[in-house]
Structure 1
Amino acid sequence: MPAQAGRWGRFSEHQARQLQRQVQAKEERIVELEMENAVLHLRLAQCRGMTGEAGSAAAGLCPRCLEQDPPRRSTPPAAPQLHRGVQKLKQDIKALRASSLAAFRACWEHLQDGLSAVEAAVQGAQLCHQALLAWQSKVGQLERSLQEADARYQLEKQKRRVLHNRLVELKGNIRVHCRIRPLLPFDKEFGDPASQDRVYGPEESQQVVFGDVCPLLTSLIDGYNVCIMAYGQTGCGKSYTMLGPHSKEERIPPWGPHSDLGIMPRAAAELFRLIAENPSRRLQVDLSIVEVYNNNIFDLLAKARGMAASGCRREALTTKDARREVPLLTREPVHSAEDFVALAAGSLRLRAELATLVHARSSRSHLIITATLTRGPAAGGSPADQQAERPPLEGRPASGSRGGASCGRAPAGSPGAQQPKEQVHAKLQLVDLAGSECAGVSGVTGSALRETSFINRSLAALADVLGALSERRGHIPYRNSQLTHFLQDVLGGDAKLLVMLCVSPCRKHVAETLRCLGFGARARQVQRGQASGGSPAPRKPR
């Protein structure tokens, strides 16, 4: 209805301006006719003066003509000429009078028509003004109703956010799910029972597994850090769970409806769907991909650009205010799930792999895909939306602004230009851990044995961190490993962590399976952010 009121108001103003122009034209025509009438009256007065002068002259000449002698009378007199002139002047006067009367009548008719048009325009303008007032009143009522509805919406939106976070915390900020790999032809079944937050049988699909991940993505949009981590023995389906089926030539299935898509491509699609539902948040997504190989962090996005391995090495640092930073880490902006998956696929081809007796393409590094959500500096959204938003995560200036230094990506503008800073909203980390393995089973030697040692030590450091958190120790050993140091943001505080245990059902892997389940049991003991009856406490900088 506000749009109809606007169109009606614009129509009324246009009609009023058109009528005003018509009235102005009529008035100008009236002035022209009055001037012509005045000129004609002046000419009429001149003609009357000339007629009077001619009559006086004729009257003076007649006696003189009578007094003249007969010879003089025989000469052609001037009186007939004067008489003809007088008659002509009279005819001119009549013609002037007739034309003046005709012009006056025409002017009068035009004036009457103009007055009628003005009266009609005034009446129409009054009706339009009354209608405009009525529409303005309706618009005011609708605006008040809209403000009330928006206030109620913001209240319900905040309640939804609080209730969703309370539900997630009731289930546990750290959850452990267990997925059992289907039996292969050479496997023998291992039927000992185990208990976790959620256990997926070998027949359950990727879609069912991802169904338990979706609520965490809602928490991500609400401003919480989220980590989804696949843990388990090598060859138990961690990469399949996280990425889906892949080969050396094609690391991730082509984008489209695919029943075997892993958590990463499904999470990317769900993330951009949630962002598109509420554009007023102005959320943007930056992607970074690293691998932790032999306790060193390597930037795969920088390596994909052809940079030497030595130049792609990064290190997680802790600042004076206890914030974790990774200087020079490459971050690429992505605008769709397709871009997300394509960028990840190009980098994953560079991940360290090795064929072992257990797996033909055993991952020799921990893969960490980080999607950083930032809120842009451009104005957008109502003040109520901005007030209702959860405060963005503070700190992390190196990874929280697009203007920060990154390998192969320079800030826009001149070196001294001040760039508008973007706030970090939340981070999603998808972690495909390298599989724990026994050197005697995998048959590795030499450098591969050294890789196995680093893998097992970093996994042990991760278990130590979870143990320290579960025991609520004063010191958490994050810096014992580059893996735990890099994941510090999602292992502590109010971040949401989902550990997906991938185990084998066969009896020959029972030792590794029990070790994996023990890791999950330790993770389940970590208690953080239990739901309470009140609102969540304000977030503190990490």
Structure 2
Amino acid sequence: MTMENERRTHSHALEDRSRDHRDELQQLRRELTDETERLQRTNREALEALERHYKVELEDVQTQKAKEIQELRTKLGTEQQDLGLALQGKDREMDVLRGQMDSLKSDLDREQALKNNLQKQMAEMSNTIVQLQKTNLTLRSQVEFLESDSKQQSDSFTSMEARLQEALRQAEEARQKLIREETERRILFNKYQELKGNIRVMCRVRPVLGEGGAEGSEARFAFPDEKSSTQIDVTGLEERSSLGAVTRKTHPFEFDRVFDPRIQNEEVFGEISQLVQSALDGYNVCIFCYGQTGSGKTFTMSSADGMIPRATHMIYETITKLEEKSWTYTMEGSFVEVYNEELRDLLTPAKEVDGKKKIEIRHDEARKQTTVTNVKTVRLDTADKVEVMLRQAQNNRSVAATKANERSSRSHSVFILKLVGENAATGERCEGTLNLVDLAGSERLNHSGAEGERMKETQNINKSLACLGDVIEALGRGSAHVPYRNSKLTHLLQYSLGGNSKTLMFVMVSPLEAHLKETLTSLRFATKVRLFC
């Protein structure tokens, strides 16, 4: 019983102590919570005080910066006004300088005209002096003869003097006759060219390059009209009938002249030399090289013995001969390309091109002449300069690799040669332009495999070629409207395609079986052009 009481007493004591401990623990927790809340409240108040402090400082800084920005804006506005006023002043100075420059240019032109007149007068006076000197010598000789009191010598001198004067008279008559005949020759030569056709189409088949079929199998060509060389027969691709029979159709084409693979550049130039003469006579001439990629257009036009070097050498030789007929010529050349319907100067490297100067085409309706602005023009006084121009243009021309050709021309190149001639004896003046055009290779997209930028180039090439065909068709029909402006190429060559200008199109043909579809397309296009003529 006593043990039980002690146990209960001990148990009650433990419960009392446990309760006291719990109360004490709860009291500590309350104190801790109060302290924590007090510290948090103190921290929040301190944080809010700091925020208010820094907010005030930030507002002060923002206000200060806003004032500084406003002051800078005010200062900048003032400086801009000052710069505007200064720029207006410079513009006025430029206008004054332009006026002075125009005035000086007019004075220079007058001085140049006066100089030319004085030079002509000096030349006439020099001729007069020479004649007087000859007359003086003649008179002195006559006096000597007369003083010798020899009637025989006097008679002989008189006879010689008469023969000399007659020879001089005949020489002058022959010179005048030669000048008149040159004028008549120009008229008759132009009529002859018009009878042959102001627009002509010729065909040239290049030889296979390499031996042993290195390029592939040859297509079948025949030249039945050997005497006049005006026809080419092309055997087409194999066609299978519904019964399984395999046939190959022969397609005949007629042109003004057909050059087989044996013909060299020298003989080809023989056909175009008359048109070069027309350019010297004051007419606008345009010679195209057309055909699929790899058919030899660039070789025909720009190789060492191509049409451009041969034409310029012929011009220099002819000019030298015409000097005895009182003709003097000046020549200027430029080289441009039409790439993606934009003009580019082939004589100026891309890194030196000023993007701010736009190349534009300007036509002079009165003179039937075309000027291309902001391109390099070279005064051609020797044939060597033409060869330098060709190398520069070839290096700057746009080319790229396609499945049809590893180095395919992606633009139309145009060599423009302006010829101005003046005759001091008759006062005649002629101004002609010779355009030698190496067209970009026509090709089908599925054959060339062109994609992206190459595809855009091919589309623009084919579009401009189609526009060229439309222009020739309109000229052949005598249409009132000729769509020159549909393409940069035809717009550039406007005065060299219509009117009394002379145009020759060479269609270049590849001899390879692999190019047969493109060959037939080119020949059909060229035949169509010839029919329009």
Q: Which residue of 2 aligns with 1:239?
A: 298
Q: Which residue of 1 aligns with 2:271?
A: 212
Shift of 1:349: 0.6
C-alpha contact (below 8 Å) 1:470/1:522 kept by paired residues: no
Whole-Å separation in 1 of the counterparts to 2:501 and 2:131: 49
Over residues 479-531 of structure 1, what are the superposed CA-to-partner deviations in whole Å (9 max), with x where a residue is unaligned? 0111100011111111111100001233443332222122222322344xxxx
Q: Which residue of 1 aligns with 2:517?
A: 511
1:366 aligns with 2:400: no
Shift of 1:156: 3.1
The AA in structure 2 aligned to 1:337 is A
C-alpha contact (below 8 Å) 1:297/1:313 kept by paired residues: no
The AA in structure 2 aligned to 1:264 is I
Structure-2 change in CA distance of 1:453 and 1:504 (3 Å): same
Pairing 1:291-370 to 2, within 5 Å after superposition: 291-303=337-349, 307-308=352-353, 310=355, 313-318=358-363, 324-370=370-416
Shift of 1:128: 9.0
2:413 is paired with a residue whose SS is: strand
Over residues 393-441 of structure 1, what are the superposed CA-to-partner deviations in whole Å (9 max), with x where a residue is unaligned? xxxxxxxxxxxxxxxxxxxxxxxxxxxxxxxx11111100001111211
Pairing 1:460-471 to 2, within 5 Å after superposition: 460-471=466-477
Q: Which residue of 2 aligns with 1:10?
A: 137
C-alpha contact (below 8 Å) 2:198/2:501 kept by paired residues: yes
Taking structure 1 as the reference length, the TM-score comes to 0.62
Q: Which residue of 1 aligns with 2:425?
A: 382
Structure-2 change in CA distance of 1:323 and 1:289 (3 Å): closer
Q: Which range is displaced more, 168-177 or 142-151?
A: 142-151
Q: Which range is displaced more, 441-450 or 150-159?
A: 150-159
Structure-2 change in CA distance of 1:374 and 1:324 (3 Å): closer
Structure-2 change in CA distance of 1:268 and 1:129 (3 Å): same
Once superposed, what is the RMSD of the aligned Cα atoms? Answer: 3.2
2:526 is paired with a residue whose SS is: helix
Whole-Å separation in 1 of the counterparts to 2:354 and 2:450: 24
C-alpha contact (below 8 Å) 2:208/2:511 kept by paired residues: yes
The AA in structure 2 aligned to 1:290 is V
Q: Which residue of 1 aligns with 2:177?
A: 152
Whole-Å separation in 1 of the counterparts to 2:186 and 2:393: 35
Higher relative contact order (CA 8 A, sep 6+): 1
C-alpha contact (below 8 Å) 1:179/1:501 kept by paired residues: yes
Shift of 1:331: 1.3
Q: Which residue of 2 aligns with 1:40?
A: none
C-alpha contact (below 8 Å) 2:276/2:311 kept by paired residues: yes
Structure-2 change in CA distance of 1:173 and 1:121 (3 Å): closer
Q: Which residue of 1 aligns with 2:433?
A: 427
Ranges in structure 2 where 5+ consecutive residues have no aligned partner:
1-129, 222-233, 235-251
- Which of 207, 212, 224 is the equivalent residue of 2:283? 224
1:263 aligns with 2:334: no
Structure-2 change in CA distance of 1:327 and 1:138 (3 Å): same
1:194 is paired with a residue whose SS is: strand
C-alpha contact (below 8 Å) 1:296/1:315 kept by paired residues: no
Structure-2 change in CA distance of 1:302 and 1:521 (3 Å): same
1:493 is paired with a residue whose SS is: coil
Whole-Å separation in 2 of the counterparts to 1:220 and 1:371: 9
Pairing 1:66-85 to 2, within 5 Å after superposition: none
The AA in structure 2 aligned to 1:218 is Q
Structure-2 change in CA distance of 1:152 and 1:178 (3 Å): same
- Which of 220, 243, 251 is the equivalent residue of 1:190? 220
2:332 is paired with a residue whose SS is: strand
1:276 aligns with 2:282: no
Structure-2 change in CA distance of 1:5 and 1:139 (3 Å): farther
Q: Which residue of 2 aligns with 1:439?
A: 445
Whole-Å separation in 1 of the counterparts to 2:507 and 2:458: 19
Pairing 1:496-535 to 2, within 5 Å after superposition: 496-527=502-533
Shift of 1:6: 5.9
The AA in structure 2 aligned to 1:441 is H
The AA in structure 2 aligned to 1:190 is R
Pairing 1:132-171 to 2, within 5 Å after superposition: 136-171=161-196
Taking structure 2 as the reference length, the TM-score comes to 0.63
1:202 aligns with 2:252: no
Structure-2 change in CA distance of 1:163 and 1:203 (3 Å): same
1:164 is paired with a residue whose SS is: helix
Of Structure 1 and Structure 2, the greater strand share is in: 2
Over residues 437-470 of structure 1, what are the superposed CA-to-partner deviations in whole Å (9 max), with x where a residue is unaligned? 1121112211111111111111111111111111
C-alpha contact (below 8 Å) 1:466/1:522 kept by paired residues: no
Shift of 1:348: 2.0
1:310 is paired with a residue whose SS is: coil
Structure-2 change in CA distance of 1:488 and 1:357 (3 Å): same
Structure-2 change in CA distance of 1:8 and 1:454 (3 Å): closer
Whole-Å separation in 1 of the counterparts to 2:383 and 2:301: 15
Structure-2 change in CA distance of 1:272 and 1:122 (3 Å): closer
C-alpha contact (below 8 Å) 2:332/2:377 kept by paired residues: yes
1:452 aligns with 2:458: yes
Whole-Å separation in 2 of the counterparts to 1:199 and 1:332: 35
Whole-Å separation in 1 of the counterparts to 2:138 and 2:478: 72
The AA in structure 2 aligned to 1:275 is I
Pairing 1:49-128 to 2, within 5 Å after superposition: none
- Which of 168, 187, 199 is the equivalent residue of 1:174? 199
Whole-Å separation in 1 of the counterparts to 2:456 and 2:411: 12
Over residues 28-65 of structure 1, what are the superposed CA-to-partner deviations in whole Å (9 max), with x where a residue is unaligned? xxxxxxxxxxxxxxxxxxxxxxxxxxxxxxxxxxxxxx
C-alpha contact (below 8 Å) 1:371/1:427 kept by paired residues: yes
Structure-2 change in CA distance of 1:152 and 1:282 (3 Å): closer
Whole-Å separation in 1 of the counterparts to 2:452 and 2:354: 21
Shift of 1:202: 1.4
Over residues 300-320 of structure 1, what are the superposed CA-to-partner deviations in whole Å (9 max), with x where a residue is unaligned? 22337x522635651224468
Structure-2 change in CA distance of 1:311 and 1:188 (3 Å): farther
